Structure 1
Amino acid sequence: MSRWEPTSQVCSECGYKWGKLDLRVRSVQCLNCGTEHNRDGNAAKNINKVGMGNRHDSKRTQRNCQTTTVAESVEASRITEASAR
């Protein structure tokens, strides 16, 4: 799904495109999978999918990252003492 995809016209469950709907239509039943959708809720799910797919840090969130310390406090005090001389 591209970032310009009309998100309220696509089933968030199976991806079936049902096309344009009048704005007065607030709920839709997918013709393909039969899922009943609130129009805005369906669009929000589709927007979330597009957003997650375009995240710049998606590789970072997929792997198990752990923070490591650069210098222990004892090492840091030695560094600052040496530069103060």
Structure 2
Amino acid sequence: MSRWEATSQICSKCGYKWGKLDLKIRSVKCLNCGTEHDRDENAAKNINKAGIGHCHGSKRTQRQNKTTSVSVSQ
């Protein structure tokens, strides 16, 4: 899942993309797997998955450890 993907438009169980929904629609039944979702809870699950993937992504593991000194003027 892309970090910019619309998390409320994708089933958190099977990944089916149902597309844009009007904001007043608060619950969704996936057309693919039949799972019923609260819109906000579904989005939260997708955000969590994206965050976990981002933390363990290949870019992060390939990054070299570098430190930079920062000077603070007072």
Q: Closer, same or farther in 2 for the Cα pair 1:15/1:56, shift >3 Å?
A: closer
Output the CA distance in 2 between the equivalents of 1:27 and 1:52: 25
What CA RMSD, in Å, does the superposition of the two structures yield over aligned residues?
1.8
For each residue in 1:47-72, what CA deviation from the matched residue of structure 2 results, as whole angstroms up to 9, or x when unmatched? 0000000115987xxxxxxxxxxxxx
Task: Give TM-score scaled by structure 2 length.
Answer: 0.75
Output the CA distance in 2 between the equivalents of 1:46 and 1:56: 16
Deviation at 1:38, TM superposition (A): 0.1
1:31 aligned onto 2:22: no
Output the CA distance in 2 between the equivalents of 1:36 and 1:43: 13
Aligned residues between the structures: 59
Output the CA distance in 1 between the equivalents of 2:14 and 2:23: 22
Output the CA distance in 1 between the equivalents of 2:40 and 2:56: 26
Larger radius of gyration: 1
Unaligned regions of 5+ residues in structure 1, if any? 60-85
Identity within the alignment, %? 75
**Quick check: which one's helix share is greater?**
1
